Amino acid sequence: MSTPKGKHAWTATVGEKGQIVIPKQAREIFGIRPGDTLILLGDEKRGIAIPPKQSFSEWFNRAFSENDEG
């Protein structure tokens, strides 16, 4: 099964302390380095998003809009 260009999916396991490990390929693609601070946006109906730094405001507006159409 092929995925559309630029689209990715990974899995992560949550440890006993609530920590997750971001897969190496994802860290490389999104330029995530040790010591970086990430922002988690949550919506109880749509889930959790970890937006790339450069698109934070767009993701923030999408996650916290009153529109549930996603």
Nearest to 50, CA basis, from 23, 16, 17: 23
Q: What are phi and psi of 54, to 5 degrees?
A: -70, -15
| 49 three-state secondary structure | strand
pTM above threshold 0.85? no
- β-strand partners of 59: none
20 assigned to some structural domain: no
* Element of type H or E holding 47: strand 47-49
Domain that holds residue 48: 36-70
Average pLDDT on 52-63 reads 75
Whole-number pLDDT of residue 61: 80
28 assigned to some structural domain: no
pLDDT confidence of 15, banded at 50, 70, 90? very high
| 48 three-state secondary structure | strand
Whole-number pLDDT of residue 1: 67
The model's pLDDT over 34-57, given as tens digits with 9 standing for 90+, comes to: 988 888 888 899 898 887 777 777
The domain tally of the chain equals: 1
Average pLDDT score, the chain: 84
